[in-house]
Chain A
Amino acid sequence: MNLTKDELREMYRLLLLTRKNDERVNEIYARKGLPELPHSCMGEEAIAVGCTYKLRQDDYIIPSLRARGMFLVKGIPTKVMMAGAYGKRTGPARSISTSHHMGDMSKGIMLGTGLIGSSVAVATGAALGLKDMGKDSVSLISFGDGASSQGDFFESLNLAAIWKLPVIFVCENNGYAISTTTDRQMAVENVADKAAGLGVSAVIVDGNDVLAVFEATQEAVARARRGEGPTLVECKTNRWHGHSENDRDNYRNPAEVEAMKRDDCVKRFEKYLLDKGVLTPELAAKIMQSVLQEIDEAVKFAEESPFPAPEEALRDVYAD
């Protein structure tokens, strides 16, 4: 692992920012409502941060619904994401769509859609385009365990394997597709088991270990750049909240959820860095303070921003 102390601290800051941003959005939603329904990523932050960290600007990503940290790592400002949650004009793409589906090609972020699994095909096509243009960029898509039941998952992995496309399939397996448990979603134990049948290399990692996710992804990226084709990285994790913030989460035992929270990817990484001497309690407190300040400023920015004008809804249906 070739990460400097500064890089490790930055990774920690991004993890914390993802966590605290999520907490704040959920708190605002619960207190007074927001136009955008939050789908919390709490418990799963290590995957988004680990799989995106150190990707190049010209590597393309399509984040899943719960991969909020991918946007932050790729450089979407916190305040823009926050303005998106408020549906403000300063949000991504003037808040024409929800911030779950923001894209920014200058940062290598492609737009995903709300149809689970569909974007796996698009990311595969991006890899095809990058390869055919002779670039050594890669395409990386994250999706949940539920998406691996979709036809596009199978069609895409099959195509990527045949054509050795530079695509990394990151599966965030949190054990639930809304309320449906993985054992009712698939007869095999792992999503990675499906990849084997399609000729796609797969690796299973502890999704709550940000460095494990990072290393597995970096290896997959290196393989892709060498022309060795796709890899599926299955990250086992937990979803602390319900599917969305208006999900009563009545299908899970509260004890089960409490147990999940004992394996906190942020705290785990913090402890690791403290043990290694990369972080000190003082430095950790300072990072926390800067993250909270950034979020405070984002909320202020979002609240003070105007809404788009109604007729802006008619713009840009077609490209010139």
Chain B
Amino acid sequence: MKEITYREALREALAEEMRRDEKVFMMGEDIANYGGSFKVTLGLVEEFGTNRVKDTPLAESVIVGAAVGAAMVGMRPVPEIMFADFMVLVMDHIVNNAAKMTYMSDGELKVPMVLRAAQGAGTGSGAHHCQSVEGWLMNIPGIKIVIPSTPYDAKGLMKAAIRDNNPVVFLEHKMLYATKGMIPEEEYVIELGKADIKREGSDVTVIAYSAMIPKALKAAEILAKEGISVEVIDPRTLKPLDTATLVKSVAKTKRALIVHESCLTGGAGAEIAAILAKEAFDYLDAPITRIGAPDTPVPFSPPLEKYFIPSEQRIIQGIRDLLG
């Protein structure tokens, strides 16, 4: 085992997959010598060259549109959109091209593409550089959504995403890039669609992902001192969603709290809550509860941004409320 950051874990995954398969290449704004806005791709151009780590013009739509075309003829592109907020500029290519090609061609065409983007608040970058966008993507049949919370998951899921024959949107959280975790020295891949129980518990299930996982784990630790046993589950991929693991946990704890950083309304939590309401209805001792950001754009000023992001305190309070 070795200790590594989330950023380094992603870089390792990208490098390993590019070494393994010469069809894998990256394209995006300032990803080569500059190393990307968050330095995930830093140094890769030295090993793989500018043809496989392509700096593009400032033109998001064609970055993803061209990635789709390259994928259709046999490449395995990994395009990067600098900030997930800019995903709106490429939604046509995600929704109408990448997501629909396999279906519209009766399964003949494949679009093996991993669209990377950094999302989330905490950097004080304001309303256009901090949004969490996974909720927008939930309603798109034909894509997969990966949203890792740890270095271990980031690496294993990235490798699986690159090997997948479907378009995958891979959402990295800015506040996680510098976080550290242990990973094996040897190669490993994490299958998409498998949730991970980050902490076992018996009194309440907290379903969280991305940057909400460290907070949920902290909250669980604090409550453990009071004798409250919290189970923390990370779905890791929202499409496909590991419903079975979520339901099994709620069947055990009889209480579910869903936590995400994106705005509450229409977020991934709504979908998870609807699934649990049906599949775990008989087990529930309390209403399924969601915690998300308020339905506002991400504010800039530090106290406002802090107020916006769901905190450990809110998670602790949410758990207490569920336990009555």
* Contacting pair B105 A103 (CB below 8 A): yes
B142 — which chain A residues lie within 8 A by C-beta? Answer: 317-318
Given A93-B108, A111-B109, A319-B102, answer yes or no on A132-B75 (Cβ-Cβ < 8 Å).
yes
Q: Is the CB of B69 within 8 A of A127?
A: yes
0 or 1 for each of A121-138: is its CB under 8 Å from B? (1 = yes): 111111111101100000
**Which of B73, B110, B111, B166 has the largest number of chain A CB atoms within 10 A?**
B73
Query: Are A110 and B69 neighbours in the complex by a CB distance under 8 Å?
Result: yes
Instruction: State in angstroms the CA–CA spacing of A152 and B92 once bound together.
Output: 10
Q: Is the beta-carbon distance between B71 and A318 smaller than 8 angstroms?
A: no
Q: Given known contacts A110-B69, A118-B96, A124-B69, is B61 in contact with A316 (CB within 8 Å)? A: no
Q: Which of A111, A115, A123, A158 contacts B104 (CB 8 A)?
A: A111
Assess whether A139 is interfacial by the CB under 8 Å rule: yes
Bound state CA distance, A54 and B66, in angstroms? 25
Contact with B along A252-270 (1 / 0, CB 8 A): 0000000000000000000
Whether, in the assembled complex, A240 has its beta carbon less than 8 Å from a beta carbon of chain B, the answer is no
| B57 lies within 8 A of A122 (CB) | no
What separation, in Å, do the CA atoms of A265 and B144 have in the docked complex?
A: 47
The reply to whether the CB of B35 lies closer than 8 angstroms to some CB of chain A is: no
In the assembled complex, the CB of B241 is this many whole angstroms from the nearest CB of chain A, namely 14
How far is B61's CA from A123's CA once the two chains are assembled, in angstroms? Answer: 13
Question: A169 CB to closest chain B CB, in angstroms?
Answer: 13
Contact assessment for B74 and A96 in the assembled complex, using a CB-CB cutoff below 8 Å: no
Contacting B at CB under 8 A, from A154-203, are: 155-156, 158-159, 162
A102 vs chain B, min Cβ distance (A): 8
A306-320 toward B: CB 8 Å interface, digit per residue (1/0)? 000000000111111
Instruction: Indicate whether B70 reaches chain A with its CB closer than 8 angstroms.
Output: yes
Cα distance A151–B61 when bound, in Å? 8
CB nearest neighbor in B for A152: B61
Q: B201 within 8 Å of A by Cβ?
A: no
User: CA separation between A94 and B166, bound complex, in Å?
Assistant: 21
Q: A104-B108, A316-B103 are in contact. Are A126 and B92 (CB under 8 A)?
A: no
A162 engages B57 (CB within 8 Å): yes
In the bound complex, do residue A129 and residue B73 qualify as a contact, i.e. CB atoms below 8 Å apart? yes
User: Do B104 and A97 touch across chains, with their CB atoms under 8 A apart?
Assistant: yes
Asked if A71 CB lies within 8 Å of chain B CBs, one says no
State the interface size on chain A (CB cutoff 8 A).
43
Contact (A121, B108) CB under 8 Å given A60-B73, A159-B56: no
- Which residues of chain A are within 8 angstroms of B226 by Cβ–Cβ distance? none
Does B265 reach chain A (CB closer than 8 Å)? no
* Complex Cα gap A128–B71 (Å): 10
Residues in chain A near residue B92, CB distance under 8 A: 115, 118
> Scoring B residues 105 to 137 as 1 if CB is less than 8 Å from chain A, else 0, what string do you get?
111111110000000000000000000000000
Q: Say whether A244 faces chain B, with CB atoms less than 8 Å apart.
A: no
Given A152-B62, A158-B59, CB of A122 within 8 Å of CB of B69: yes
> Which 10 residue pairs spanning A and B have beta carbons closest together?
A121-B65, A125-B69, A125-B66, A129-B70, A155-B62, A93-B106, A316-B107, A126-B69, A122-B69, A155-B59
* 19 additional A-B residue pairs with CB within 8 Å, beyond A101-B104, A125-B71, A319-B102: A93-B104, A96-B106, A103-B104, A103-B105, A110-B109, A113-B96, A114-B96, A118-B93, A119-B97, A121-B65, A121-B68, A121-B93, A124-B66, A128-B69, A128-B70, A132-B75, A315-B106, A316-B103, A317-B102
A-B contact pairs, 20 of them (CB 8 A): A60-B73, A101-B104, A103-B108, A111-B101, A111-B105, A113-B96, A118-B96, A121-B61, A121-B66, A124-B65, A125-B68, A126-B70, A128-B66, A128-B70, A129-B74, A132-B25, A155-B62, A158-B59, A319-B110, A319-B165
Chain B residues near A (Cβ < 8 Å): 23, 25, 51, 56-57, 59, 61-62, 64-75, 77, 92-93, 96-97, 100-112, 141-142, 144, 165-166
